[in-house]
Amino acid sequence: MVNETQKAFWGGDVGARWVEMAPFLDATFTPVTHAVADALGDLSGAVVLDVGCGAGALSRVLAARAGQVHGIDISLAFLAAARARAPGNADYSLADAETDDLPGAPVDAIASQFGMMFFTDTTAALANLRRAARPGARLAFATWAASEVNPWFSVPRALAVAATGPLDSDPDAPGPMRLRDVDGTVALMRAAGWQEARGRALDIALPQPGTLEQVAYNATRVGGASSVLGHYQADKPTRAAVTGRIAQAFAP
């Protein structure tokens, strides 16, 4: 079975935390959501697939522009959250984008916000998506840039490491940084049959809602710091100290 590790990851504590934090994360990622939807062009009447739909933020924006949206995810917790806020023209299914037959096929367009970096075999997943798309369909997705140019990841992570210890992670393994290289990602897309694929780096500010303290606290719960603090089972005083340092670093 492929993607079992990711199913356990997103179906467990991490998925539950993301669902709980969905209002904060959805607001934070709003510019990304609109960049992805805009990249698909005119969606009037279109049938669109949202890959790794999570709690449905991108699906809801797509549904306002398209005829029908099918969101797929491997996490039941996410799907329940998405269904709770589903517009009338959006539905959500448990499906693995890499291996399963996908709803609505052949679809007119495919979109994803941070849902494409977790496959066992990215090319196989892109080829499966290609099979689910009608000829001429568009695919648009957002992935994270390298952590060196991503302070939302790198700053909290560095402060967590300083307070606890180092944590090795392979950026090429399934995970948030895997598709950080634009040219490499375009090459994978072309190999999977998306022959006119193009990619570009966008420099986007993330408008995080709430007070500085809330933003800093949230930065210990998802993103770069959370895996380090979780790995070291950091206690409350350590977490509070890291939160304070993140607040100082994020203040400007």
Ligand X SMILES: C[S@@+](CC[C@H](N)C(=O)[O-])C[C@H]1O[C@@H](n2cnc3c(N)ncnc32)[C@H](O)[C@@H]1O
Q: Which residues bind ligand X (CB under 6 A)?
A: 3, 6, 10, 25, 29, 51-55, 57-58, 72-75, 78, 96-98, 113-115, 118-119
> In whole angstroms, how close is the CB of 26 to ligand X at the nearest point?
7
CB of 235 to ligand X, least distance (A): 27
Residue 197 CB, shortest distance to ligand X, in Å, is: 20
Nearer to ligand X, 72 or 163 (CB): 72
Distances (CA, A) of 58 to 90, 112, 205: 11, 8, 18
Residues with Cβ < 8 Å from 98, sequence gap 6 or more? Answer: 2, 3, 119, 120, 121, 124, 125, 128
Q: How far is 158 from 126, CA to CA, in rounded Å?
A: 33
> CB of 165: closest distance to ligand X in angstroms?
25
Q: For ligand X, which is the closer residue by CB, 78 or 194? A: 78
Largest distance between two CA atoms of the chain: 56
Residue number with CB closer to ligand X (43 or 57)? 57
Q: What are φ and ψ of residue 44, in 5° steps?
A: -50, 120
User: Which of 25/139 has CB closer to ligand X?
Assistant: 25
Q: State yes or no: cis peptide before 176, omega within 30 of 0.
A: no
Least distance CB 169 / ligand X (angstroms): 15
Say how far apart CA 34 and CA 27 lie, in whole Å. 11
Nearer to ligand X, 113 or 147 (CB): 113
